[in-house]
Amino acid sequence: MNIEHGGNIYKVAQELGLPESRIIDFSASINPLGVSKRVKMRLQEELDNIHNYPDPDVTELRKKLSEYHGIDSGTILCGNGSTELIYLIPRVLKPRRVLIPSPTFLEYERAVNSLNLNKIELKQASTIVNLSLKEADHFRIDPDAFINAMQGCDMAFLCNPNNPTGRLLKKEEVLKIAEAAKGLRCLLIVDEAFIDFCTGESVIRYVQDNPYLIVLRSMTKFYALSGLRVGYGVFPEYLIGKLKALKEPWTVNGLAQKAAIEALQDSEYVKRTMKLIRAEKSFLENSLKQLGIEFLPSEANFYLMRIDNAKEISMALRGRGMMVRSCSNFRLGDSYIRIAVKLHRENELLIEELARLCRV
């Protein structure tokens, strides 16, 4: 599978001969406010300490996360972004059959397939079971269909809200799947990378009651700490020791730990973010409707659009210094583009370009 993520502004800037600051990146769904002022100030204060090794146990951040979520700090494992944990879990647990819906985040399949590259450690290869989501249903994940597909699997990945569709399962629906996973003895990994945009829908507090539930979270999307790489997972206690035994040390650097701690305390930033996202989503939805561009309903900070000449439009936008996310490697063909919600002027520029291109 060809893996090319959004956010590679460096490649596009080099192709166009532009400074990176001139690229408008709609391909990566990051908080358009950028890093909060409080976090920037904290990072400045910490510069004199970067000669020290980071805390390998990430103690202070785990304590802050336990207070923030109301969970036991002993169930939290931090990583170099949640992607590190996505790879760590299959590597440690070596699943036989893994359920992955399609389309969804590409790294689940890649992480499982990476196991098969080292078959010496495996008694048998890991098999991926794909649950194809229906285009006619706007790629919604049906809980009953997901539960049925889990039969015979010992691991399943569920992205909520899903990437690249933006579709959200309500908390009650995810808990229904998690309860079924317990009965089937199938480890359910719920990736909540975008759940901060969906108040009240996280299942992170329910891990303590279900030995077959794992919840992953990211500080990349909502808090814009993409370049620092920090994420975390909440695990049943019996898994923590197994994962730590094979996890590389010092993967969460010192600045990332301090930035994450400060971000969690910045309630004003959260309020500003939610207000901005609500307003700009409304603007984008109304504008896309006026242009006659089809898009999926989204609970996240991005939209999946269907345009017949999506590939040509993507390249034309790229030539104008605007990056959008081609979705062909999500098994969606060449008719889908994902766009992030940005600041108002940036969103206006995108709509203006789309209007011009759709008239051609």
CATH topology of domain 49-264: Aspartate Aminotransferase; domain 2 (3.40.640)
Alpha-carbon distance of 323 to 24, in angstroms, equals 6
Q: Are 191 and 216 in contact (CB under 8 A)?
A: yes
H helices present in 195-291, as ranges: 237-246, 254-264, 267-291
Low-confidence ranges of the chain (pLDDT < 50): 1-2, 120, 360
Q: Residue 358 has what pLDDT? A: 83
* pLDDT at position 176: 98
| The CATH number of the domain covering residues in 9-36+267-359 | 3.90.1150.10
Q: What is the pLDDT of residue 213?
A: 98
The span from the CA of 121 to the CA of 41, in Å, is 46
pTM (predicted TM-score): 0.94
| Beta strand segments in 80-207, E | 97-102, 127-132, 155-159, 187-191
How far, rounded to the nearest angstrom, does the alpha carbon of residue 62 sit from its chain's CA centroid? 20
The Cα 29–Cα 6 span in angstroms is 8
Model confidence over 106-130: pLDDT tens digits? 999 999 999 877 654 556 678 999 9
User: Quick one: tokens of 111?
Assistant: 């992480």
Q: Do domains 9-36+267-359 and 49-264 have the same CATH topology?
A: no
* pLDDT in the model for residue 1: 45
Domain boundaries, the chain: 9-36+267-359, 49-264
Angle at the Cα of 328 from the Cα atoms of 323 and 329, rounded to 5 degrees: 100
pLDDT value at position 2? 46
